[in-house]
Structure 1
Amino acid sequence: MKIVAFERNLQGTGASRRLRNAGKTPAIVYGADSQPQLIELDHNVIFHALKKEAFHSSILELEIGSTSQPVLLRDVQYHPFKPLVLHVDFQRIDASKKLHKKVPLHFLNQDISKAVKLDGAILSHVMNELEVTCLPANLPEFIELDLADMGVGQSLHAKDVKLPEGVELMQYLEQENPVIVSATIPAAASAAENASAVEGGEAPAAS
Structure 2
Amino acid sequence: MSDVLELTAELRTDVGKGASRRLRRAGKRVPAIIYGGEESPQNLTLAVNQLVKVMEQETFYSQILNVVVDGQPTKAVVRDLQRDPASNKVHHVDFQRIDMSKVMHATVPIHFINEDNCVGVKMNGGSILHNMTDVEISCLPTDLPEYIEVDMKDVDVGYSIHLSGLALPAGVSLLAFSHGDDDQDHDIQVVSVEVLRGSEAAEDEDAVEPAGEVPTVADDDKDNADDES
TM-score, normalised by the number of residues in structure 1: 0.92
**Compared with structure 1, are the counterparts of its residues 197 and 28 closer, same or farther at alpha carbon in structure 2 (3 Å cutoff)?**
same
Look up the match of 1:15.
19
| Cα distance, 1:166–1:202 mapped onto 2, change above 3 Å | closer
Gaps in structure 2 of 5+ consecutive residues: 223-229
Q: Look up the match of 1:51.
A: 56
Counterpart for residue 157 of structure 2: 152
| Residue matched to 2:207 | 196
Whole-angstrom CA distance in 1 between matches of 2:214 and 2:44: 78
Q: Does 1:162 align with 2:162?
A: no
| CA apart distance, 1:131 | 0.2
- Paired residue secondary structure (1:188): coil
Identity of aligned residues (%): 38
Deviation for aligned residue 1:193:
2.0
* Partner residue in 2 for 1:137: 142
Match of 1:69 in 2: 74
C-alpha contact 1:3 1:62 (8 A) present in aligned 2: yes
Note the 1:29-40 alignment, pairs <5 A: 29-40=34-45
Note the residue ranges of structure 1 that are not aligned, 5 or more in a row.
none
Over the aligned positions, Cα root-mean-square deviation in angstroms equals 2.1
Match status 1:98 vs 2:109: no
Instruction: Tell me whether 1:110 sits opposite 2:110 in the alignment.
Output: no
Amino acid across the alignment from 2:38: D
Contact 2:195/2:202, CA 8 A, preserved across alignment = no
Structure 2 counterpart SS, 1:159:
helix
Report the structure, 1 or 2, having the larger strand content. Answer: 1
Structure-2 residue corresponding to 1:25: 30
* CA–CA separation in structure 2 for the residues paired with 1:204 and 1:69: 76
1:186 aligns with 196
Instruction: Kindly state the Cα deviation for residue 32 of structure 1 after the two structures are TM-superposed.
Output: 1.1
Q: Whole-Å Cα distance in 2 between the matches of residues 114 and 73 of structure 1? A: 38
Indicate the SS of the match to 2:198: helix
Give the TM-score normalised by the residue count of structure 2. Answer: 0.84
Shift of 1:204: 2.9
Query: Are the structure 2 counterparts of residues 195 and 68 from structure 1 closer, same or farther at C-alpha, using a change threshold of 3 Å?
Result: closer
The whole-number CA distance in structure 2 between the counterparts of 1:154 and 1:138 is: 31
Three-state SS of the structure 2 residue aligned to 1:35 is: coil
> Residue by residue, what CA displacement relative to the aligned partner does 1:1-53 show, whole Å, maximum 9, x if unpaired?
11111111111111111211222100000001211001000122213322321
User: Do the aligned partners of residues 204 and 98 (structure 1) sit closer, same or farther apart at CA in structure 2, a change above 3 Å counting?
Assistant: same
Query: Whole-Å Cα distance in 1 between the matches of residues 77 and 38 of structure 2?
Result: 15
1:118 Cα offset (Å):
1.2
Query: How far apart are the structure 2 equivalents of 1:102 and 1:185?
Result: 30
Is residue 162–residue 188 contact of structure 2 (8 Å, CA) maintained in 1? yes
Amino acid in structure 2 at the alignment position of 1:178? I
Larger radius of gyration: 2
Q: What one-letter code is carried by the residue in structure 2 that aligns with 1:103?
A: V
Bigger mean CA offset, 66-75 vs 49-58: 49-58
